[in-house]
Amino acid sequence: MLSEPDDYRLTSTGTGLSLIKKSKAITNPKRHFHPWWEILYIYSGERTFFYANRTLHITEGTFLCIAPGILHRAVNPAGEVCGLYNVFFADDGNSLSQNDGRYSLVRPILESLNPCIPLTAENHRQVAVLFSQLGKELLSKNLGYGAVAWAKIIEILTLAARQKAQSPGKILLPDEATDPKTAAVLDYLNANYTCELTLEAVARRFNVSPAHLSRLFKKTTHFNFVEYVNSLRISKACRLLTSTQDSVLNIALACGFGSVTQFGRCFKELTGTSPLKYRKQ
């Protein structure tokens, strides 16, 4: 039987799925989001992770479900290492079609999941085995490997969903290291990012100096103020591009950008492509 390597990266499988395994993942310093669903499973070690607007510390046996257009990245402190499996519902950088029959089976499960689910010890063991089996199938490319791979994915998601039904698991909240003032600012920005925002105006609102807020914000989120606000705006733009037929100009204005030029530049920086190309993915 084919043995599973410690590390591999399968991003062109012919199945509509991409799978990455890292035995000693350290960090992914680039903030990003994408138009496809992603699931991340920590099978050993620990990781500090930024999701949407919160930093959380996750440990062995944690299952993350990341929806399209959600800003995220690993921000591991020095010395923090984990083993992980990473599945993208995309193949060779292309999202699954909304009409794909395989996708229609798993999408309701994905949408039902909490973003962060610490698995029970029993489910942790089962999910670790299933991910290993998934990897072996995709590596082997034996007859029917695509069907088997999707069966493994469905089983993994069902285990996580049924655990959620029994116990809500961990809700994403600021971790202990998150400064309360910064957490309040994050909540404010997430509610008002389409408005005109400056560091100075937000600092006045929360009765701190711009320099102090800037330091706290960077320490907590690993973003500077402008980066974070633009990331929220681009995240909304991604959702509008894929769910509406609005023009790029109207979407840029609705998301808080002053011009299409500024919007296009920020969009490409965060997604690696143009708004029109993103819409076609």
- pLDDT tens profile 96-147: 887 888 988 999 999 999 888 999 999 999 999 999 999 999 999 999 999 9
271 pLDDT tier (thresholds 50, 70, 90):
confident
List, in order, residues 6 or more apart from 130 with CB less than 8 Å away: 152, 155, 156, 159
Q: What is the dihedral of CA 124, 120, 29, 82, to 10 degrees?
A: -50
Q: What is the pLDDT of residues 216-253, one digit of tens each?
A: 888 777 778 998 899 889 888 988 988 899 999 999 99
Whether pTM exceeds 0.85? no
pLDDT for position 23: 95
* 180: Cα within 13 Å, side-chain hemisphere: 0
Residue pair 197/229 in contact by the 8 Å Cβ criterion: yes
The whole-number average pLDDT for the span 243-272 is 91
Which one-letter amino acid corresponds to residue 40? L
Distance of CA 21 to the CA centre of its chain: 16
**Mean pLDDT, the chain, as a whole number?**
87
pLDDT for position 179: 67
The whole-number average pLDDT for the span 250-265 is 93
The whole-number average pLDDT for the span 190-207 is 93
Percent of the chain that is helix, strand, coil (3-state, to 5): 45, 20, 35
Residue pair 127/163 in contact by the 8 Å Cβ criterion: no
pLDDT for position 27: 66
184 pLDDT tier (thresholds 50, 70, 90):
confident
Is pLDDT at 73 greater than 70 in this prediction?
yes
* 88: Cα within 13 Å, side-chain hemisphere: 20
Sort residue 56 into left (φ over 0), alpha (ψ -120 to 50) or beta.
Answer: beta
Collapse the DSSP code of 7 into the 3-class scheme (helix H, G, I; strand E, B; otherwise coil) and give the result: coil
List, in order, residues 6 or more apart from 122 with CB less than 8 Å away: none
The whole-number average pLDDT for the span 1-25 is 92
Is pLDDT at 173 greater than 50 in this prediction?
no
Tokens of 213: 């807020």
Distances 40 to 21, 63, 110, 116, 252 between C-alpha atoms, Å: 10, 6, 12, 10, 31
